[in-house]
Chains A and B, each alone.
Chain A
């Protein structure tokens, strides 16, 4: 019975014309948005969720999954054609994708990256379908302190991996947590950081913060190279040969697993997965078709497979633990909250349909990715050449409409502008805005679980701290946090040097 129900929800997106259309439109829009330098998939999803407030959850989710899947792939287009990654996940794609374009093989590179992305994406979805129910069942054993630790780990990992220093990442994450605390305390109803303003009692809406940080601030950053002109490319032949595809199938499968594994880690996203997969290809492929960095097909296939496989992987902690893996999953978690759902272990029990529906949508999005990815490339090449002077004002208008749509209030537009300018300054000085959003989303989860864990221990700090090391699961998480922090210190570098030296001497 349960399997039949799961199957019913799984094929819901395929049999319903409306949902099918939502996934298709989302994927197509995602590919184009992701391909345009300056428009990120996080920005697109952030702005979009404010428009889907009034929608039912299924079409909203179908659209967002489509945009996400299309957006991650779309980033590779501008990476190949212009050597400007459309998204952080497409940085590694340009290493060999752009040299291929310079050799006059841009169409070929696009075709190969599309098929590799689709295979990676499908493997990611299969991994999600099998792993999530198991992890969800296990996560029921998590105590409040474990969620508290997981949230800290998520912010720390994003902070340490995405920025130039852990301290800046920690500051950004803590800033996000602080913003989530503005307003009424969930436990006591006490106003915090409201400065006597009634308007602030309901807090600052996280969508206004997100649109400001990802939309407006990015538009302002893009002004720095407003006069950069695009290079025209030849995209006449795009379908890759079966022979080429089968030749690299083993690498594709290996990189898919790298993508799934990295995606499932809280804090690690498509960018890291793609870079690791590229590194793996460099090490493991002894005889590439061309040298790496000079147009090796292997150097294009590896990151493209991994970053799309990462999507399925990232869904695992998001749906089962309620912990976002990166900024996009943080935004999608926010969207689920808005629609009255609570991602976490109970989501699979209370609303299993949502899980299987998401799996169905993701699979469908990959089918559309193949169709849209291999067609309309000429229009595409024109789209990525669009002038920023035209594009950026349109982003601002859509961001404004998105912020206003949250509560039909102009105050949210003011917040958006404020956070946009603040985010721009942070970005200019090496702070990442991803951890801020993660902090905003994870802040309430972190604080609620901290307070529950503390109440469990009758507000005894020693009792609380001992619980972090006595319980095996808590101990693993605590060690993870300690290693993440220590790994960024000079002591760690000194230790590594010492071990390396003694190893060398031993040899």
Chain B
């Protein structure tokens, strides 16, 4: 099944990153104090870290020929349009901005700006329609969650 899967640009880079992360987890697990027996606090984390390392190595090894189809430079170049196309990067930036601003600006103003911005960016609605749709959406969300679900919105 795996042989039929074409190479995804950037997969090898991700796997090396995950392997490095797994080794870091193992080091952290080994630093958990009182590792005197197999039922101590650190034993199970070490076991899990070893599984993480083993499975990342297994994926890298099993797909080595597939991953070698592209050299590192090509892979880096092709990874962006594959995993991070403009629309995803742009929207992730809007999302990040929203999450950062939501605390100082509070829920309603920040969410309103986010909705209008998102509708325009994703071409969900025209400029004229975006403002009332965002207001209506927020009104429904506010009433629903504040009254029915008793969520205290910040």
Chain A residues proximal to chain B, CB less than 8 Å:
51-52, 54, 164-165, 167-168, 170-171, 174-175, 177-178, 181, 185, 187-188, 190, 192-193, 216, 220, 223-224, 226-227, 387-394, 396-398, 400-401, 404-405, 408, 410, 413-414, 417, 421, 424-425, 428-430, 447, 450-451, 454-455, 459, 461, 464
Cβ contacts under 8 Å, B48 to chain A? 174, 177-178, 181
**In the docked arrangement, what's the CA distance between A484 and B140, Å?**
48
Q: Mark B1-31, 1 if CB is under 8 A from A, else 0.
A: 1100100101100100010000001001100
Q: Secondary structure of the B side of the interface?
A: helix
The listed residue (B44, B52, B87) touching A223 by CB distance below 8 A is B87
In the complex, how many angstroms separate the beta carbon of B145 from the nearest chain A beta carbon?
6
29 contacts between A and B (CB under 8 A): A51-B149, A51-B151, A164-B2, A167-B59, A167-B62, A171-B55, A174-B48, A187-B41, A188-B41, A190-B32, A192-B42, A193-B45, A223-B85, A387-B125, A390-B125, A390-B133, A393-B118, A393-B124, A400-B102, A400-B111, A401-B107, A405-B149, A408-B152, A413-B102, A424-B88, A429-B14, A430-B5, A447-B44, A454-B37
Instruction: Assess whether A181 is in contact with B44, with CB atoms less than 8 Å apart.
Output: yes
Instruction: Assess whether A429 is in contact with B8, with CB atoms less than 8 Å apart.
Output: yes
Cβ contacts under 8 Å, A461 to chain B? 38
In the complex, how many angstroms separate the beta carbon of A155 from the nearest chain B beta carbon?
10
Cβ contacts under 8 Å, B51 to chain A? 170-171, 174
Chain B residues proximal to chain A, CB less than 8 Å:
1-2, 5, 8, 10-11, 14, 18, 25, 28-29, 32-34, 37-45, 48-49, 51-52, 55-56, 58-59, 62, 82-83, 85, 87-88, 91-92, 95-96, 98-99, 102-103, 107, 111, 114-115, 118-119, 122-125, 133, 137-138, 141, 145, 149-154
Q: Which of A171, A223, A413, A459 has the most CB atoms of chain B within a 10 A radius of its CB?
A: A171
Cβ contacts under 8 Å, A223 to chain B? 85, 87-88, 91, 122
**In the docked arrangement, what's the CA distance between A181 and B44, Å?**
9
The listed residue (B25, B91, B119, B149) touching A390 by CB distance below 8 A is B119
Instruction: Assess whether B87 is in contact with A393, with CB atoms less than 8 Å apart.
Output: no
Using CB atoms, name the residue of chain A closest to B62. A167
The listed residue (A190, A397, A429) touching B115 by CB distance below 8 A is A397
Instruction: Assess whether A54 is in contact with B59, with CB atoms less than 8 Å apart.
Output: no
Instruction: Assess whether A51 is in contact with B145, with CB atoms less than 8 Å apart.
Output: yes
Instruction: Assess whether B5 is in contact with A404, with CB atoms less than 8 Å apart.
Output: no
In the complex, how many angstroms separate the beta carbon of B65 from the nearest chain A beta carbon?
14
Instruction: Assess whether B83 is in contact with A164, with CB atoms less than 8 Å apart.
Output: no
**In the docked arrangement, what's the CA distance between A170 and B57, Å?**
12
Instruction: Assess whether A459 is in contact with B88, with CB atoms less than 8 Å apart.
Output: no
Indicate whether A192 sits within 8 Å of B39 (C-beta atoms), given known contacts A390-B119, A397-B141, A429-B8: no
Instruction: Assess whether A224 is in contact with B88, with CB atoms less than 8 Å apart.
Output: yes
Cβ contacts under 8 Å, B122 to chain A? 223, 226, 388-389, 392-393
Instruction: Assess whether A429 is in contact with B10, with CB atoms less than 8 Å apart.
Output: yes
Instruction: Assess whether B149 is in contact with A52, with CB atoms less than 8 Å apart.
Output: yes
Using CB atoms, name the residue of chain B closest to A165. B2
**In the docked arrangement, what's the CA distance between A193 and B40, Å?**
15
The listed residue (B14, B39, B58) touching A454 by CB distance below 8 A is B39
